[in-house]
Structure 1
Amino acid sequence: MTEQTGGLVLNLECTLAAPPERAFRMLTEASELVKWWGPHGFIIPAADVNLVVGGRYRFRMTPPDGEPFHLSGEYLEIDPPWRLVYTFNWEEPTPDDGETVVDLSLGSAGSGTRLVLSQGPFLTEERLALHRDGWTESFEKLRTVTDPG
């Protein structure tokens, strides 16, 4: 985690067994996103994706205990299979939520992929921590669905 331009920025990375082309599909296709997006115990019963610059996405997330909620955003940069940049908004925000930008960079790592995430700026350390936990668990799920073994 680093602080840049007056805001809090989350930086994470993970390595996937899948090659960059498959990893990019897992990050961009609705039928693949529903398999791994969200922390452990959360499900994505609906994901709409319009993968063009200026296009929008919207996910409905259901927590283990509680009511569904939504997140959405706009695609800012799409460079398959190397980079994906989009805005991230909670549709039912708390007062500490603000729009952030997610920047995902993919690179070859042997026969797999090195995935680097940067997201921010966050308004509070608490919101950054919430996203760190969510992305960490999501990446664990993503590794499981991309592991060929």
Structure 2
Amino acid sequence: MIDFSLPSEVQTKPITYTVRATPSEVFDAWVIPSMVEAWWGPDGFTMRVLNLTAKAGGEFAFEMTAPNGNSCIMSGVYRSVDRPKRLVFEVYEHCNLDLPHGTKPQRNSSLVEVVFRGSELGTVVSLTHTLLNTDYEKLAAVSWAQSLRRMEGMLSVTSL
């Protein structure tokens, strides 16, 4: 099982991460299937894009596979696509694999907003994931942080 532990003082707030790449490169990493497959998901997970139509009203579906080989689907719809500044998508189906004991699965849809802002160091990515139950919110924060780190590693090979 993946370690999703967080300190108890963690509060709901945007996750901000600076990636050493241009806003266009970082944005593309969110909407080009082969790039998404290289970084999306918590450490130890692999991901396969089943569908990704990055336009307002376009759908996405990802198959996420845990280290133990179990898979689940994460799917939803894009609400706003403003290249290279902002993405907003609603997640209808969450991947509830290998949740820590006692963690309530996320059954309702949630909303993710990702803002990309150029800086002298690259691109500041600000991600806000709302409408999550309290247990799942903590897991999502860890998963997003791990994913953004993986994305930066992927992009640093070819960027800036």
Question: Residues 19 and 152 of structure 2 are in contact (CA less than 8 Å); yes or no, is this contact kept in structure 1?
Answer: yes
What letter is aligned with 1:101?
Answer: L
What letter is aligned with 2:114?
Answer: L
Within the alignment, does 1:139 sit opposite 2:142 as a pair?
no
- Aligned residue-pair number: 142
Aligned identity (percent) is 24
The partner residue of 2:55 within 52, 56, 61 is 52
TM-score (norm 2): 0.81
Within the alignment, does 1:18 sit opposite 2:41 as a pair?
no
Q: CA RMSD in A?
A: 1.9
SS in structure 2 of the partner of residue 134 of structure 1: helix
Unmatched 5+ stretches in structure 2: 1-9, 97-103
Within the alignment, does 1:119 sit opposite 2:129 as a pair?
yes
Question: Residues 64 and 95 of structure 2 are in contact (CA less than 8 Å); yes or no, is this contact kept in structure 1?
Answer: no
Question: Residues 44 and 62 of structure 1 are in contact (CA less than 8 Å); yes or no, is this contact kept in structure 2?
Answer: yes
What letter is aligned with 1:128?
Answer: E
In structure 2, C-alpha distance between the alignment counterparts of 1:91 and 1:132, rounded to whole Å: 14
In structure 2, C-alpha distance between the alignment counterparts of 1:120 and 1:59, rounded to whole Å: 20
Unmatched 5+ stretches in structure 1: 3-8
In structure 2, C-alpha distance between the alignment counterparts of 1:134 and 1:101, rounded to whole Å: 15
By percentage of residues, which structure has more strand?
1
Please name the residue that 1:6 is paired with.
none
What letter is aligned with 2:41?
Answer: G
